[in-house]
């Protein structure tokens, strides 16, 4: 049994070494998609913070209906943090949102208060 575990570990290590950096990134993102994150999306206008979404699992790049061509926006689900306190307070609801890749200045990051 122990030999099988060692062989499996060696095979996984060889697979990881053989992958390109982009493939390793895709694997890491898919694992993160399963585990989720506590993301924050800040949207700016004129250099000023105007909206914040919190408790976002992930931002997803939209794809065309044929499933191969990426679209020019990202979307996700999160709580609209109207008072910018990084917490989902009473009355702050979970919403669907979209942000443009071209015209929406935004920053997506992990909630600093979650650790």
Write the DSSP string, 86-114: SS--TT--EEEEEEETTT--EEEEE-GGG
pLDDT, tens digit, 9 for 90 and up, residues 24-77: 666 665 555 544 578 899 999 998 999 999 999 888 888 877 777 888 888 899
Residue 17 — pLDDT band, cuts 50, 70, 90?
low
Check pLDDT > 90 for residue 83.
yes
More confident call, 39 vs 9: 39
For residue 11 the two structure tokens come to 């095979």
Nearest one of 57, 50, 106 to 82, comparing CA atoms: 50
Nearest one of 48, 41, 43, 47 to 86, comparing CA atoms: 41
Check pLDDT > 60 for residue 115.
no
Rounded mean pLDDT of the chain?
80
């Amino acid at each position: 049994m122990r030999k099988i575990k060692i062989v499996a570990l060696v095979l996984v290590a060889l697979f990881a070494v053989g992958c390109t950096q982009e493939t390793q990134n895709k694997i890491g993102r898919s694992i993160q998609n399963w585990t989720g994150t506590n993301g924050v999306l800040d949207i700016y206008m004129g250099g000023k913070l105007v909206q914040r979404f919190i408790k976002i699992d992930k931002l997803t790049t939209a794809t065309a209906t044929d499933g191969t061509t990426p679209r020019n926006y990202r979307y996700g689900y999160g709580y609209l943090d109207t008072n910018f306190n990084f917490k989902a307070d009473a009355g702050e609801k979970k919403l669907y949102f979209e942000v443009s890749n071209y015209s929406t200045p935004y920053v997506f990051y992990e909630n600093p208060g979650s650790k």
